Amino acid sequence: MTPAPVANETQKAGLAALAQAFAHELDGKALAAARNEGQNPTAFSQVLEQLKAFRDADPRIACVYTLEQQNGTVRFIVDAHYGLSDGSGYPEVYETAPPALKSPVTEPVGLGPYTDTWGTFYPGYAPVDTG
């Protein structure tokens, strides 16, 4: 098996920028409601549809999901693959989260490669304004 090449700083910056662009588009109030109310048919569905649309708009994107971090524990909130065999559940603990997520993400970051139970990826993360 050949290891995946490590993303260079330009690629990581691109991943961070993509994550930030999506974080700005995501309805933060709906995300907060989904986090607080669970799989409420309105807010959860609204965020789920936004995630799917973002994923489907760019063939380079394999997965789009939202997370929360509390006291070093990372949980999935809404995953574009929710309900599918390769999706995470609500509010599933992300046991194999990248170390960079063990503290709150306060600015966009690109990583990679990162391998977890879903495969090897080059992830980007950015905070979402839920206020």
DSSP state of 39: S
Residue 1 predicted with pLDDT over 80? no
pLDDT in the model for residue 131: 86
Of residues 110, 104, 105, 50, the one with CA closest to residue 82:
50
Which residues in 3-37 are b (16+ Cβ under 10 Å) and which e? Answer: eeeebeeeebebbbebbbebbeebebebbbbbbee
Answer whether 64's CB lies under 8 Å from 55's CB. yes
Express as a percent the part of the chain with pLDDT over 90.
Answer: 82
Q: pTM of the entire structure?
A: 0.89
Looking at this protein, which amino acid is placed at residue 112? G
pLDDT in tens, 15-61: 999 999 999 999 999 999 999 998 877 999 999 999 999 999 999 89
